[in-house]
Amino acid sequence: MIEALKQIFSGAATLPDEHTVAVGLLLEVIRMDDDFDDMERAAVARIVSRRFDVTEDEAMQSVAEVADMPRTTYDDAELLKAINEAYSPAQKTALVESLWEIALADGELHRFENHAILAIANKLGMGQAELDATRAAAKARLAA
């Protein structure tokens, strides 16, 4: 998975599988506030482990490697197109819920994280009510 994630962040021409694309989006959202702390790293690793059936150690290794990579520009339209084509509405909802969960993991929502999630949800065809529900679900999961 780490090699495919490196493709996303290096702007490689080939598009990785949809699970890797989703992980790439998760990591980009969390890096929006330029303060990718241990709490956020752990949240990303838990989400990656839970959603993509990898061990938490594997997830932490992937997160650590990608977190150390320089931020680059990539074509999010292509990434979102891949998700739109491959994901069911329920999978898209779960993805946006995961985005909220990571963005809120450090106890504050940075405006860039918020903007990124709103833009992604919009491009995935999510309405305001569904967006609000995903945010509430993420908050509830973090509070549990």
Average pLDDT over residues 67-81: 66
The reported pTM is 0.73
Of the two residues 74 and 42, the one the predictor is more confident about is 42
Query: What CA–CA distances, in Å, run from 66 to 1, 26, 36, 74?
Result: 11, 11, 11, 14
Domains parsed from the chain with CATH numbers: 2-143 (1.10.3680.10)
Model pLDDT for residues 76-120, shown as the tens digit of each residue:
677 788 788 888 899 899 889 988 988 888 788 888 889 989 999
- Closest to 20 in 3D by CA, of 69, 64, 72, 86: 86
